[in-house]
């Protein structure tokens, strides 16, 4: 069984058991240079326009966009892949893809770190 398949199984099992240990798994399909980890719970925006509207962070704005499905919370330690060619020249924002799901999410550059 491949490493990617084992990581996916471990992630699914840990989610069912309520464990955060699954977040230590390598992101699926990342090159080593693109592997990042979320630092601190962070609101992630589905588009750069929504990301800009969240700044400065405001709990009421985050809640409204979250209810509309435009924002979701990415938990501390989650392994993600950076989408390097995001088409936006803003060093404060990083476009990432989580191992589960097909959407890309904008997060603050201050809330990501290079994966170990």
Residue 82: name the closest of 25, 38, 22, 43 by CA.
38
Strand positions, DSSP E, the chain: 35-38, 42-45, 71-74, 79-82, 93-97, 104-108, 112-114
Rounded CA gap, 76 and 55, in Å?
Answer: 20
What number of other Cβ atoms are within 10 A of residue 83's Cβ?
A: 15
Q: What's the pLDDT at 27?
A: 54
pLDDT digits (tens, 9 = 90+) for 61-84: 999 999 999 999 999 999 999 998
Q: Is 77 helix (H, G, I), strand (E, B) or coil?
A: coil
For 20, the token pair is: 């955060």
Asked whether the bond before 56 is cis by omega within 30 degrees of 0, the reply is: yes
- Where is 60: in which H helix or E strand? helix 59-67
Distance of alpha carbon 116 from alpha carbon 27, whole angstroms: 12
Region 87-93: mean pLDDT is: 93
pLDDT digit string, tens, across residues 8-54: 333 333 333 343 334 445 555 677 778 999 999 999 999 999 999 99
């Amino acid at each position: 069984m491949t490493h990617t398949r084992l990581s996916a199984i471990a992630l699914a099992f840990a989610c069912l058991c309520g464990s955060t240990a699954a977040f230590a798994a390598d992101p699926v399909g990342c090159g080593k240079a693109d592997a990042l980890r979320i630092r601190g719970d962070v609101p992630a925006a589905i588009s750069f326009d929504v990301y800009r509207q969240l700044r400065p962070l405001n709990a009421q704005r985050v809640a409204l966009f979250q209810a509309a499905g435009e924002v979701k919370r990415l938990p501390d330690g989650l392994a993600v892949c950076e989408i390097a060619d995001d088409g936006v020249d803003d060093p404060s924002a990083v476009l990432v893809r989580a191992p589960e799901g097909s959407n890309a999410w904008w997060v603050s550059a201050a809330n990501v770190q290079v994966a170990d």
